[in-house]
C-alpha cells in the first residue's frame, strides 16, 4: 500500500513537470502571442534565437500599445500583434509563409471576439499582405464569416486592404524548405502559424490566428487556422484560444471550441482544459501542436505537446515574457 | 408561492409544445436525413409537398439499403442518403444548388466518422457532381481534412469522381431565386442544405452535410456545411450532428461541436443538447436553422427554430417517417 502511494506521488511529480504541460495559469495577463511550434531546437542558431525573441517581443509591444489606446478593444490588440508576426519573415504567416507543392503561397487567417461571438476568416488568399486584417474586414464589413480564394481577395481589395504581388511572399528560407520537402529530406516539420489572444479593459476576449499552412501542401489544402472552433475561438463565457500544429488533427478535434467547452461546461481552468485537449486527447491520437488560452480574468495557459512553442505574454503592468522551448 | 409554482408549470407546458423543439428522443433510429429548413410553407404546392416527401423517402431508403450491405458502415449510409438528395433538383445541394450573385454554383460538403474522428470536406467546388463523395475521398484518400476551390476539384478528378460541366447545376427554379434576390423581392430565404446521420451495427456514428450555400452569396463565401464542428460532427463519445440554417451563426456558435460537448460533458440527451443550442442560444442571437442529432444508442433529436425542417428517419426495422413542417 505504501509503495503504491509512493508510485502515485512519483507519477504526479513527473506529470506536473512534463514539458509543454501548462502549470497553474499565469495571472494578470492582457495579451499573449504564439509563433508556432517552430523548428527543431538543435537547428536554432544563437542569431535566430535572438531574432525570434526580438520579433515576439515586438509583437507583444505592438499589441500592448494598441490596448492602451483610447477605446481600444482586445480585437485591436490581437490584430496589432499578429500583423507584426505576419510582417516578419521568421514565422509561417504573411511574409514568411511556406510554399505549396506547386511553389505558391496560400494564406489563411481568422479572428473572433468573445462578447458577441462575431468572427471573420479568409482561406487560400495569395495577394493580401496581412490576412488577419482581411479576416477582421470580413467580420466587420460583411455579413459573412468565411471567404475563400479569389472571392476573398476581391473582397479585401474592395475594402482597401494592402494587396501585394504574390512574389512578396517568396523567401529564400521557405523556398529551400520546399525543395527539401520535395526531396523528402525532411521528415519532421515545424508549424510556424502565429496567433494572439487578448482581453481588454471591458473584459472582452478576442483571439486570432494566421498561417501559410504546411510546406508542400496540396494547393487548396486548408488547416485549422481559418476555422472558427478549430484554430481560433473566443467566448466570454469561457475563454479565448489560438492554436498551432498539425491542422488536420486540430479540425477533427475542434480544438479551440473543445477547450472552451471544457472551461464553460466542466469548469476546468484554462490550464486544465488546454492540457486535457493537447496532452490527453491530441497527443495519443498523434496530433502535434499547442495552444495559448486566456480567460477574461487575465489567466493564461500555454500548453504544447511539441518540442517547442514560440510564445510570449504581456501583463497588465507591461511586463513581457518570451519563451521558445522548455526554457 | 402557489401562484409562482403554477406559472412555472404553465411555462413548462408551453415550452414542451413549442414548434420545432425536440421532444423525448425518438428511439431505435439507424439513419436520419434533412433537406434544409425549406421555403415558406404557404408557397409549397401539393405537388411539391409530394415530391419533397418522395425524395426524402428515397434518400432514407438508399441509406437504409446501404446499411444492410455486408460490412456496411454508417459512413456508407450517410453517403448513400446524401447522394440521393444531391441528385434531386429540389434541395440546395448538388444538382439543385443555389446561385452566387455572379450566377455561379459553388458547392460545399463535409463528412465525419465518430469512432476515429476521421473527417473530410470540400468547399467552393463548381464541377464535382456529388460533393459528399469528394468529402469522403478527402477523408479516405488524402492526409487532409479540408480542400477548397480548384485544388479540391483537381483532387476529385484525380480520385476518379464524376466531374460535370458546371451547367449541370443550372436549374430554372434556382435561377429565378437569384433574379428575385437580385431584385430584392425576397427578404426571407429558405436553407435547403441536406444532411444525414447514421449509426451502424458496430455502434459507429457518422454525419455528413452538403450544400450550395446561400442564394446571391458573394463568390468565395463559405458557410457551416463544410466546417467540421459547425455544420457536421461525429463523436462516439457524444453524438452525430448535421446542421442546416444561416451558416454564419452556425460557425460562430460551433453548433455541431457544441451539441456534442453538451452531450459529452454535461450529460444532456440529444434532445436537450439540440434544443439548448438551437432554441436557447441561436434563436435569441437571430440564427435560424435546425439540426438532426443521433447517438450511438439510436436515439434521435430533430430540433429547429425555423418554420420547417425537411426531415425524416428510418428505424432499425425499416420504418420510415418523413416531416416537412410541424405536421
Best to test chain A binding among B117, B148, B285 (most A CBs inside 10 Å): B148
DSSP codes of every residue in B105-133: --EEEEEEETTT--EEEEEEESSBS-HHH
Which residues of B are identified as catalytic? 193
Minimal-distance CA residue of chain A relative to B156: A220
Q: B108-122, pLDDT tens digit by residue?
A: 999 999 999 999 999
Cell 472582452 locates to A204
For residue A7, name the pLDDT band (cuts at 50, 70, 90).
very low
More confident residue, B187 or A79: A79
pLDDT at residue number B18: 80
pLDDT at residue number A4: 39
Q: A147-173, pLDDT tens digit by residue?
A: 999 999 999 999 999 999 999 999 998
Assess contact for B149 and B187: CB atoms under 8 A: no
Domain range holding B13?
A: 5-323
* B96 touching chain A per CB within 8 A: no
* B259 touching chain A per CB within 8 A: no
pTM of the model: 0.94
Retrieve residue A324's grid coordinates: 521558445
List the single residue in B124, B221, B228 with the smallest CB-CB distance to A251: B228
Please provide the average confidence, as pLDDT, over all residues in chain A: 92
Assess contact for B212 and B204: CB atoms under 8 A: no
CATH number of the domain to which A137 belongs: 3.60.20.30
Q: How far is B60 from chain A (nearest CA, A)?
A: 27
Among candidate residues B241, B211, B303, the one with its CA nearest the CA of residue B22? B303
Cβ of A87: how many Cβ atoms within 10 Å? Answer: 18
Q: Using the predicted structure, report yes or no on whether residue A190 has a pLDDT greater than 80.
A: no
Q: How do A311-315 and A29-34 pair as beta strands?
A: antiparallel
Can you point out the beta strands (E) in B12-161? 29-34, 107-113, 119-125, 146-148
Q: Using the predicted structure, report yes or no on whether residue A315 has a pLDDT greater than 60.
A: yes
List the single residue in B117, B149, B247 with the smallest CB-CB distance to A252: B117
Identify the burial level of B156 via C-beta atoms within 10 angstroms of its C-beta, where 0-12 means exposed, 13-18 middle and 19 or more buried.
buried
Mean pLDDT of A18-46: 95
Please provide the average confidence, as pLDDT, over all residues in chain B: 93
- Provide ipTM, 2 decimals: 0.93
pLDDT at residue number B165: 97
Cβ of A165: how many Cβ atoms within 10 Å? Answer: 9
CA distance A256 to A253: 9
Work out how many domains chain B is built from and give that number: 1
pLDDT at residue number B115: 98
CA distance B207 to B262: 17
Q: Using the predicted structure, report yes or no on whether residue B75 has a pLDDT greater than 70.
A: yes
Retrieve residue B264's grid coordinates: 459529452
Query: CA dihedral defined by B135, B138, B140, B144, rounded to 10 degrees?
Result: -130
For residue A192, name the pLDDT band (cuts at 50, 70, 90).
confident
Minimum mean pLDDT range among A5-9, B48-52, B120-124, B261-265: A5-9
Q: What is the enclosing helix (H) or strand (E) of B289?
A: strand B289-294
Cβ of B160: how many Cβ atoms within 10 Å? Answer: 9
pLDDT at residue number B305: 97
Give chain A as a 3 state SS string: CHHHHHHHHHHHHHHHCCCCCCCCCECCEEEEEECCCCCCHHHCCHHHHHHHHHHHHHHHHHHHHHHHCCCCCHHHHHHHHHHHHHHCCCCCCHHHCCCECCCCCCEEEEEEECCCCCEEEEEEECCECCHHHHHHHHHHHCCCCEEEHHHHHHHHHHCCCCECCHHHHCCHHHHHHHHHHHCCCCCCCCCCCEEEEEECCCCCEEEEEEECCCCCECCCEECCCCCECCCEEECCCCCEEEEEECHHHHHHCCHHHHHHHHHHHHCCCHHHHHHHHHHHHHHHHCCCEEEEEECCCCCEEEEECCCCCCEEEEECCCCEEEECCCC
Distance (Å) of CA A120 to CA A39, A123, A255: 29, 11, 18
For residue B184, name the pLDDT band (cuts at 50, 70, 90).
confident
Assess contact for B111 and B120: CB atoms under 8 A: yes
Q: Using the predicted structure, report yes or no on whether residue A134 has a pLDDT greater than 80.
A: yes
DSSP codes of every residue in B206-252: EEEEEE---TTBPTTEE-STTSBTTTEEE-TTS-EEEEEE-HHHHHH
Q: Using the predicted structure, report yes or no on whether residue B150 has a pLDDT greater than 90.
A: yes
pLDDT at residue number A188: 55
List the single residue in A143, A147, A265 with the smallest CB-CB distance to B261: A265
Retrieve residue A22's grid coordinates: 501548462
Count of all residues that appear for chain B in the document: 327
Contact check, Cβ <8 Å, B229/A233? no
CA angle A66, A70, A75 (to 5 degrees): 45
Distance (Å) of CA A286 to CA A194, A240, A255, B164: 21, 24, 14, 37
Q: A266-292, pLDDT tens digit by residue?
A: 999 999 999 999 999 999 999 999 999
Retrieve residue B151's grid coordinates: 485544388
Q: Using the predicted structure, report yes or no on whether residue B270 has a pLDDT greater than 60.
A: yes
- How much of chain B is in helix, strand and coil states, percent to nearest 5? 40, 20, 40
The proportion of chain B whose per-residue pLDDT surpasses 70, expressed as a percent, equals 93
Q: B197-253, pLDDT tens digit by residue?
A: 999 999 999 999 999 988 888 999 999 999 999 999 999 999 999 999 999 999 999
- Within the 56-95 window of chain A, which residues sit less than 8 Å (CB to CB) from chain B? none
Q: How far is A152 from chain B (nearest CA, A)?
A: 6
Active-site option among A193, A211, A215, A244: A193
More confident residue, B290 or B184: B290
Q: Using the predicted structure, report yes or no on whether residue B1 has a pLDDT greater than 60.
A: no
Distance (Å) of CA A44 to CA A24, A173, B25, B175: 29, 13, 56, 57
Q: How far is B148 from chain A (nearest CA, A)?
A: 5
Contact check, Cβ <8 Å, B218/A142? yes
Mean pLDDT of A318-325: 97
For residue B185, name the pLDDT band (cuts at 50, 70, 90).
low
Mean pLDDT of B28-44: 95
Q: What is the CA radius of gyration of chain A?
A: 19
Mean pLDDT of A192-221: 95
Mean pLDDT of B121-145: 98
Amino acid at each position: 500500500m505504501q509503495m503504491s502511494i509512493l508510485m502515485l506521488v512519483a507519477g504526479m511529480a513527473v506529470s506536473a513537470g512534463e514539458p509543454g504541460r501548462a502549470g497553474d495559469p499565469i495571472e494578470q495577463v492582457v495579451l499573449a502571442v504564439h509563433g508556432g511550434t517552430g523548428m527543431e531546437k538543435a537547428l536554432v542558431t544563437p542569431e535566430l534565437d535572438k531574432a525570434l525573441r526580438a520579433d515576439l517581443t515586438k509583437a507583444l509591444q505592438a499589441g500592448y500599445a494598441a490596448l492602451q489606446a483610447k477605446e481600444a478593444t482586445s480585437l485591436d490588440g490581437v490584430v496589432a500583434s499578429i500583423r507584426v508576426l505576419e510582417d516578419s519573415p521568421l514565422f509561417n504567416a504573411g511574409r514568411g509563409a511556406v510554399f505549396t507543392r506547386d511553389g505558391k503561397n496560400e494564406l489563411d487567417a481568422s479572428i473572433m471576439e468573445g462578447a458577441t461571438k462575431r468572427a471573420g476568416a479568409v482561406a487560400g488568399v495569395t495577394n493580401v499582405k496581412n490576412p488577419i486584417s482581411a479576416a477582421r474586414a470580413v467580420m466587420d464589413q460583411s455579413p459573412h464569416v468565411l471567404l475563400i480564394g479569389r472571392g476573398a481577395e476581391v473582397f479585401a481589395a474592395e475594402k482597401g486592404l494592402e494587396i501585394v504581388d504574390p512574389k512578396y511572399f517568396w523567401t529564400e528560407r521557405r523556398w529551400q524548405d520546399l525543395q527539401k520537402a520535395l526531396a523528402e529530406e525532411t521528415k519532421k516539420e515545424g508549424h510556424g502559424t502565429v496567433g494572439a489572444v487578448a482581453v481588454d479593459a471591458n473584459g472582452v476576449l478576442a483571439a486570432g490566428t494566421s498561417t501559410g499552412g504546411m510546406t508542400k501542401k496540396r494547393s487548396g489544402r486548408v488547416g485549422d487556422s481559418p476555422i472558427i472552433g478549430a484554430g481560433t475561438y473566443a467566448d466570454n463565457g469561457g475563454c479565448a484560444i489560438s492554436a498551432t500544429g498539425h491542422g488536420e488533427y486540430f479540425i477533427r478535434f475542434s480544438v479551440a471550441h473543445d477547450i472552451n467547452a471544457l472551461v464553460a461546461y466542466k469548469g476546468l481552468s484554462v490550464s486544465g482544459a488546454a492540457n486535457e485537449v493537447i496532452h490527453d486527447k491530441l497527443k495519443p491520437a498523434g496530433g502535434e501542436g499547442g495552444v495559448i488560452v486566456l480567460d477574461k480574468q487575465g489567466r493564461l495557459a500555454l500548453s504544447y505537446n511539441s518540442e517547442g512553442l514560440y510564445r510570449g505574454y504581456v501583463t497588465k503592468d507591461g511586463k513581457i515574457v518570451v519563451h521558445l522551448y522548455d526554457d
